[in-house]
Structure 1
Amino acid sequence: MKNKYLSASLGLYINYFVHGMALIIIAQNIDFLSRQWNTDNAGAAAVVSSLGIGKLVAVFFSGKLSDRFGRKPSVVLGIFFYVLFLAGILISPNVAVAYIFGISAGVANSFLDTGTYPALMEAFPKKSAPANIIIKAFIQGGQFVLPYLIGFLILRDLWFGWSFIFLIAVLCANLVFVLTRTFPPMADVSQASEESRPQKARTFHFSMNEICLILFGFVAQTLLYILGQWIAKYGSEVVHMSEGSSRLLVSYGSLGAICCVLVTFTLGNRGIKSIYFMMIYTVMTAVVSLVIWAFPVPVVCTAGAVLLGYFSSGGLIQLGLTLLAEKSSRGKGLVTSLYTIAEGVAIFTIPLAAAAISRVNIGGIFLLNAGVALFGFALTLIIFIRDIRPVNEASVQAEQVQC
């Protein structure tokens, strides 16, 4: 199974390498785009919220289309909409037009998620969590590379648009590659959906675990967004680092995230449950965010970027989604859509909230980050308690029988 679908998986991972770049390409080019759109940095940053609208619009049908027509068509549509986004942002004359094209990025992300995550779960059914966590390595790889690419263009006084064209070229080449790959069958997913339909799929009942894990999608996406979009601005405007040094904070965060992926992948293969990672990573994200806010100096900011990359961007989205798929009997495309709705709400609301906070004090954004991380910890704690309760009850019953 692994060998048969390895090449298809590679194509899926490459999409997320570009996705990682696309997530921060507006923030990394925000000065150029602000001038092109005749707005300030906060106005340009608010364009990122359009991705949330796109995810929310597409999520109501992307999961169903993936479950019905297959994973490959969903992935192909995701690539198409990402190309539309990159080309559109590049030619947008103002914020309004850019906002419209930004919606296509959210649509692209939704189609990629509802096609890729289920496909990897089906290709590697016994290693679904490690297979999905590798996505994060490719996302962070893209976020590590892009600041250096943009730095290269700036040093040579080249047009900033070449960074967009590079991403478009990679996507187009990968589209040809993906179209020639064989994807895993969806037989078990369809069968599971049919079996569970009379009991659950026709009702609106969700278990507490499902609700907590769906809400965790909001938390994980928020933590990812704040680090990728605001750590550089925090470094330059609050810590007073140079433009080049502050931009590289994103790359440092990516290094931390890649280290986290390797550790999580290794320990996950040894049987450590996802919920333990999620609890530790959220509470540590809150601690690091508070330290960065309290001590705005270059050393703390640089070390904090690495640690935030490790704890908040090292695979929380993938861990939460994989755990949701394990605890839900619904179709994988459907639960991915539900999770994506929560992510879409975060992508729409948090950029607007962060932009408003930045006009007062950029440092306050990391207080927001800490608060959201603590909320995520509370959600994981609920899941943890509910998971161990049956074990405790069984132990009590066994003791009573022995007595």
Structure 2
Amino acid sequence: GLLISRNIWMASICSLFLGNANSFNDSGSYPLLTEQFPEKPASMNALVKASMSLSQTILPLVIAAVHSAYIIIPAMAVMLGLLLLKVSVTNFGKNETIVKETVSEQKEILETSTNKPSVLIDGVGMVILGFTLSFIFYMYSQYAPVFAEKVIGSTPVFSKTLISWYAISSLISVFITSTVVRKVHPFKVLLAYSIVAAAMLAMMVVHPTPTIARLTSIAIGFFAAGGIWQVGLTILSRYFPQEKGRVTGYYSFAAALTYFVGPIVSTFILDDTAASLVHVFVLDVAVSVLGIIVMIILAVRCFKYKFI
């Protein structure tokens, strides 16, 4: 449909359905993988992020080499068709017994424990984290190159390399994070990663230099965009094991708000001055600090539960 669009309305409608399909895919794939591999849910969620990061790294290179949308879009449609065929013939019930035992065990702990997650506190808090975690790396990836040019005075070539460092670091982080969360409590990972990301953002605002900008790109890619969002989703799924699909939808919706709220807020802040770009990154730091505060509150509560 996108390929045969001849005006902005047709293209917008097709893009709307593509966005819907992507959200359906997220809300289905995360719970599915955690149920298929209940012994390592965080690693499975991180692998989804790894696939996304890999495609985000490769696709721009493909577009640069193949300039025609009439080749790239049909190729992507074929890939989606193959994916549909693969999913339709795959048996996802092989771990059904393990899934039932895991869910049953978690349900029994929840029912017998005096300390259990609260939807209004833990649930809403985790959804807020879904927004703050996404906001941090989305705003950085959108405005880091412009910040480098106007605030630091870097060349356009150097400014674009910041996103390359960000993407590479994000991809590396996915595999490291998937291993770390097996040995370290997920909330400890969330807190440590978020503090480092916030500190580097603040450092770039206070002392904007090319070296600091490059280090910040690496830090944001590794500690903010490299699977930490999926770690939060894993915690939320464990909190409410019988509502994996629903809570994934809420969590993903909060993240999707980033792509709506971020540009709108930026329009009220940005102008042609370097100071306005600094203000955007100050906002990013503020949101990251808010996320850390929410994490600390949830972490204190979390350590009373037996199943996380």
Q: Does 1:113 align with 2:22?
A: no
Aligned to 1:284: 196
Letter in 2 for 1:291: M
Aligned to 1:173: 82
Aligned to 2:214: 302
> Which is worse superposed, 123-132 or 256-265?
256-265
Deviation at 1:261, TM superposition (A): 1.8
Is the alpha carbon distance of 1:170 and 1:291 closer, same or farther for their aligned partners in structure 2, counting shifts above 3 Å? farther
Equivalent position SS for 1:363: helix
**Separation of aligned partners in 2, 1:161 and 1:297:** 42
> Which is worse superposed, 312-321 or 98-107?
98-107
Normalization by structure 2: what TM-score?
0.80
**Separation of aligned partners in 2, 1:189 and 1:106:** 32
Letter in 2 for 1:170: M
Asked if structure 1 preserves the Cα contact closer than 8 Å seen for 2:46 and 2:175, the reply is no
Is the alpha carbon distance of 1:168 and 1:306 closer, same or farther for their aligned partners in structure 2, counting shifts above 3 Å? farther
Aligned to 1:293: 205
> Which is worse superposed, 287-296 or 376-385?
287-296
Normalization by structure 1: what TM-score?
0.63
Asked if structure 1 preserves the Cα contact closer than 8 Å seen for 2:137 and 2:220, the reply is no
Q: Does 1:365 align with 2:280?
A: yes
Aligned to 2:225: 313
Query: What pairs up with 1:222-233 in 2 under 5 angstroms?
Result: 222-233=135-146
Q: Does 1:103 align with 2:51?
A: no
Letter in 1 for 2:249: S
Deviation at 1:114, TM superposition (A): 1.6
Letter in 1 for 2:89: T
Aligned to 1:399: none
Query: Of 381, 394, 402, which residue of structure 1 is paired with 2:296?
Result: 381
Deviation at 1:107, TM superposition (A): 1.2
1:121-165 per-position Cα deviation (integer Å, ceiling 9, x unaligned):
111011111111111222221222234334445xxxx44675555
**Separation of aligned partners in 2, 1:300 and 1:274:** 28
Unaligned runs of 5+ in 2: 112-117
Is the alpha carbon distance of 1:233 and 1:264 closer, same or farther for their aligned partners in structure 2, counting shifts above 3 Å? same
Q: Does 1:256 align with 2:169?
A: yes
Deviation at 1:240, TM superposition (A): 4.5
Deviation at 1:284, TM superposition (A): 1.6
Letter in 2 for 1:149: V
Asked if structure 1 preserves the Cα contact closer than 8 Å seen for 2:181 and 2:189, the reply is no
Is the alpha carbon distance of 1:390 and 1:268 closer, same or farther for their aligned partners in structure 2, counting shifts above 3 Å? closer
Deviation at 1:329, TM superposition (A): 4.2
Deviation at 1:278, TM superposition (A): 0.7
Is the alpha carbon distance of 1:152 and 1:264 closer, same or farther for their aligned partners in structure 2, counting shifts above 3 Å? same
Query: Of 84, 92, 99, which residue of structure 2 is paired with 1:183?
Result: 92
Asked if structure 2 preserves the Cα contact closer than 8 Å seen for 1:217 and 1:342, the reply is yes
Deviation at 1:355, TM superposition (A): 3.9
Is the alpha carbon distance of 1:329 and 1:174 closer, same or farther for their aligned partners in structure 2, counting shifts above 3 Å? closer
**Separation of aligned partners in 2, 1:178 and 1:130:** 21
Aligned to 2:133: 220
Q: RMSD of the alignment, in Å?
A: 3.1
**Separation of aligned partners in 1, 2:18 and 2:277:** 26
**Separation of aligned partners in 2, 1:240 and 1:165:** 41
Letter in 1 for 2:299: F
Letter in 2 for 1:302: R
**Separation of aligned partners in 2, 1:379 and 1:370:** 14
Query: What pairs up with 1:4-403 in 2 under 5 angstroms?
Result: 87=2, 91=5, 93-94=7-8, 99-152=12-65, 158-159=67-68, 164=73, 166-184=75-93, 188=99, 206-269=119-182, 271-359=183-271, 361-388=276-303
Is the alpha carbon distance of 1:291 and 1:159 closer, same or farther for their aligned partners in structure 2, counting shifts above 3 Å? farther
Is the alpha carbon distance of 1:280 and 1:247 closer, same or farther for their aligned partners in structure 2, counting shifts above 3 Å? same
**Separation of aligned partners in 2, 1:227 and 1:189:** 41
